[in-house]
Amino acid sequence: MAPVEDTLRAVVTGASSGIGAATVRRLRAEGWSVLAVARRADRLEALAAETGCEVCVADVTRADDVARLAAAAGQVHALVNNAGGAVGTESVEDGDPADWQAMFDVNVLATLRVTQALLPALRATGRGDVLVMSSTAARTPYEGGGGYVAAKHAESVIAQTLRLELVGQPVRVVEIAPGMVATEEFSRNRMRGDQARADAVYAGVREPLTAEDVADCVVWTLTRPHHVNVDLLVVRPRAQAAQHRIAREPQDG
């Protein structure tokens, strides 16, 4: 592992499970210092014991928690805005505005708050990175996805606009847009805890992406020479050609 003075440092939000936790593991394996951020202290403590990362228990939808996170971050070279999620599959006509608000808070406003809080430190390193974890939902709408699609479109626009606004400064802005990723919680949370409905999302799909696949993309983009900016990386499993075009194998019964 590199000497302390040469170690790159990252902040990863939404680090208690899924893509966030996998990203912390990969960055630590690459020798990075990592501050893992999430709401669940027990999950973070287990991740710290496993990887040696630092932790900050914080809700990134709350301004006071984000201020505390920024104070804990110190010198930081990369921010991985991974916190996010979907709630429900109702149509636009039947969608609950409270669900839409929750999705905008965690996918859009949290990305805005944390990015604003850490930009001065990222700029000061002379080689900062802001990475936004959007989704293929940010590129193509689909029925039952209105709130999540709208939130991910907005999050993608943050990345696109920020890149224009920071041109000429020593900060890259990277967007990664994963397609179908089978993680332990995303679909279950979206289906309000209904595991059978969550499992049906991936039924018959041979080898959907894993959290580790996406973490590999994160680390690859962050470790390119700093004059190389990966503006947008769209990554899907081979079985998913587009949002609506998915190869599914017959299921027994």
CATH of the domain at 208: 3.40.50.720
- Domain membership of residue 251 (yes or no) is no
Active-site residue flag, 148: yes
The residue type found at 7 is T
pLDDT at residue 191, rounded to an integer: 86
Cβ 79 vs Cβ 118: under 8 Å: yes
Residue 253 confidence class, pLDDT cut points 50, 70, 90: low
pLDDT at residue 190, rounded to an integer: 85
- Domain membership of residue 252 (yes or no) is no
- Domain membership of residue 129 (yes or no) is yes
Residue 39 confidence class, pLDDT cut points 50, 70, 90: very high
pLDDT at residue 73, rounded to an integer: 98
Catalytic residue selected from 32, 100, 148, 186? 148
pLDDT at residue 3, rounded to an integer: 33
pLDDT tens for 187-219 read 888 888 879 998 888 899 999 999 999 999 999
Q: pTM to 2 decimals?
A: 0.94
pLDDT tens for 10-28 read 999 999 999 999 999 999 9
- Domain membership of residue 176 (yes or no) is yes
Task: Tell me the C-alpha distance between 59 and 65, whole Å.
Answer: 6
Residue with tokens 């224009």: 164
> What domain range includes position 143?
4-241
Domain count of the fold of the chain: 1
Query: What does DSSP assign to residue 77?
Result: S
Higher per-residue pLDDT: 189 or 157: 157
Helix (H) / strand (E) containing 158: helix 146-165
- Domain membership of residue 133 (yes or no) is yes
Task: Tell me the C-alpha distance between 174 and 159, whole Å.
Answer: 7
